[in-house]
């Protein structure tokens, strides 16, 4: 038995054009074996619904895909009678006398929803079936983004997409092409950082998936993954370096503000003149370090380099001199350029690399 033309579904799918995140699932798994049903239930998802074709059975099949036996047993044990199958073939007006629905119920030992509207429409019929259970506490699992995921997201359910289909053999050629296109669109949306709509129940999404995410399906996707990972690592490294520079700058400024605490040299004149301005300037210098990567010396036209701030080692004070209204301190991180800091009444300048 095939499926009749799903006009309502096509019209619904156009909503995705204005809100593409509707087709983005909360969770992607390879197939139902990856779902940690026990953890999902503990997280507050107390009912679960499944698409049938290419999610539980082969296309238009009436038997559970054999490798899914254990997972299906776990699901039924956890969810008991709060499991239902929502198919766009079985249980719809296309299913004469619900013969297909009954055969599936016999084989899979769960209810098949009898419904008039096809996914992604008809969510209310599922909510009516799970009478009294809020949509946010229902998970919908399926292999199609534009039908199963949009259906679940439309009604605020937790959506789980199964990426590895049971088989493409015997599938509706149009559905097959659209599914492949959906995967490409999902990969694109991911690269655009368009995420699933936030689910109202806080769920540890990693805890409810039993295995590692599926490997990339195409060379293009593999390359995109590599680029995304490289960008992530680069940004993390830059962030760490900025943090390190900021901390080092703060420490260096602290030493020039209170050198006597480290060297025993008196700096009464300097520390008692213009202290608030010094603090403000130090903060500004630190900010300049953080946001622009430039040193304070570049602000005064001196040739400097921020390259000296690259380790976590504490700077050592090499020398400290002071006169009327001024102080000069030279600090150095072992293996790096010395940093000269000159403090005048009301000013402070850090000049890395200059002697
Ligand atoms: Mg399907």
pLDDT tens digits, residue range 227-259?
767 776 777 787 778 778 878 887 887 776 665
| Per-residue confidence band for 269, with pLDDT thresholds at 50, 70 and 90 | very low
In the chain, CATH 3.40.50.1000 covers 7-215
With 80 as the cut, is the pLDDT of residue 53 above it? yes
More confident residue, 353 or 337: 337
6 contacts: CB under 8 Å, gap ≥ 6: 88, 118
- For the entire predicted model, the pTM comes to 0.59
- Please tell me the distance between residue 144's alpha carbon and the centre of ligand 1 in angstroms: 6
pLDDT at 172 (0 to 100): 83
pLDDT at 251 (0 to 100): 82
For the domain made up of 7-215, the CATH class stated in words is alpha beta
Distances (CA, A) of 288 to 267, 293, 297: 26, 7, 11
Q: Which residues of 15-24 are buried (b: 16+ CB within 10 A; e: fewer)?
A: ebeeeeebbb
- Please tell me the distance between residue 176's alpha carbon and the centre of ligand 1 in angstroms: 10
Looking at residues 315-330, what average pLDDT do you find?
Answer: 74
pLDDT at 29 (0 to 100): 93
pLDDT at 287 (0 to 100): 40
| Per-residue confidence band for 137, with pLDDT thresholds at 50, 70 and 90 | very high
84: part of which helix (H) or strand (E)?
A: strand 83-85
- Please tell me the distance between residue 42's alpha carbon and the centre of ligand 1 in angstroms: 27
Grouping H, G, I as helix, E, B as strand and the rest as coil, residue 214 is coil
Of the candidate ranges 86-100, 130-144, 277-291, the one whose mean pLDDT is the lowest: 277-291
The angle at the Cα of 142, spanning 141 to 148, to the nearest 5 degrees, equals 100
Of the candidate ranges 59-73, 116-130, 135-149, 170-184, the one whose mean pLDDT is the lowest: 170-184
Angle between helices 173-191 and 219-257 (to 10 degrees): 10
- Please tell me the distance between residue 80's alpha carbon and the centre of ligand 1 in angstroms: 22
pLDDT at 232 (0 to 100): 64
- Please tell me the distance between residue 202's alpha carbon and the centre of ligand 1 in angstroms: 27
C-beta separation of 213 from 28 below 8 A: yes
Best-predicted range by mean pLDDT (104-118, 167-181, 233-247): 104-118
Best-predicted range by mean pLDDT (1-5, 92-96, 248-252, 267-271): 92-96
pLDDT at 189 (0 to 100): 94
Grouping H, G, I as helix, E, B as strand and the rest as coil, residue 137 is helix
pLDDT at 7 (0 to 100): 72
- Please tell me the distance between residue 251's alpha carbon and the centre of ligand 1 in angstroms: 60
Task: Please give the mean pLDDT across all residues of the chain.
Answer: 77
- Please tell me the distance between residue 55's alpha carbon and the centre of ligand 1 in angstroms: 6
- Please tell me the distance between residue 171's alpha carbon and the centre of ligand 1 in angstroms: 9
With 90 as the cut, is the pLDDT of residue 184 above it? yes
| Per-residue confidence band for 316, with pLDDT thresholds at 50, 70 and 90 | confident
* Rounded Cα–Cα distance for residues 111 and 182 (Å): 28
More confident residue, 279 or 174: 174
140: part of which helix (H) or strand (E)?
A: strand 138-142
């Amino acid at each position: 038995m095939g499926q009749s033309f799903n006009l309502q579904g096509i019209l619904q799918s156009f909503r995705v054009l204005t809100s593409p995140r509707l087709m983005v699932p909360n969770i992607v798994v390879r197939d139902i074996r990856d779902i940690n049903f026990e953890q999902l239930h503990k997280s507050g998802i107390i009912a679960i619904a499944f698409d049938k074709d290419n999610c539980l059975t082969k296309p238009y099949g009436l038997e559970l895909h054999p490798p899914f036996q254990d997972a299906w047993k776990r699901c039924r044990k956890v969810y008991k009678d709060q499991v239902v199958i929502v198919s766009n073939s079985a249980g719809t007006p296309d299913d004469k006398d619900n013969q297909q629905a009954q055969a599936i119920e016999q084989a899979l030992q769960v209810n098949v929803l009898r419904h008039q509207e096809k996914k992604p429409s008809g969510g209310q019929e599922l909510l009516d079936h799970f009478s009294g259970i809020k949509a946010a506490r229902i998970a919908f699992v399926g292999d199609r983004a534009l039908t199963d995921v949009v259906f679940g997201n439309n009604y605020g359910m937790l959506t789980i997409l199964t990426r590895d289909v049971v088989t493409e053999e015997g599938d509706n050629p149009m559905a097959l092409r659209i599914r492949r296109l959906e995967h490409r669109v999902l990969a694109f949306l991911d690269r655009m950082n368009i995420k699933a709509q936030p689910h109202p129940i806080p769920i540890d999404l990693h805890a409810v998936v039993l295995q590692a995410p599926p490997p990339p399906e195409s060379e293009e996707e593999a390359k995109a993954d590599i680029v995304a990972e490289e960008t992530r690592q680069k940004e993390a490294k830059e962030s760490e370096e900025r943090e390190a520079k900021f901390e080092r700058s703060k420490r260096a400024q602290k030493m020039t503000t209170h050198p006597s605490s480290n060297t025993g040299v008196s700096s009464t004149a300097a520390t008692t003149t213009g202290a608030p301005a010094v603090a403000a300037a130090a903060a500004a210098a630190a900010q300049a370090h953080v946001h622009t990567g430039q040193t304070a010396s570049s602000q005064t036209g001196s040739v400097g380099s921020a390259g000296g701030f690259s380790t976590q080692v504490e700077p050592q004070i090499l020398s400290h001199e002071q006169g009327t209204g001024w102080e000069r301190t030279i600090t150095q991180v072992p293996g790096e350029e010395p940093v000269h800091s000159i403090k005048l009444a009301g000013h402070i300048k850090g000049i890395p690399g200059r002697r």
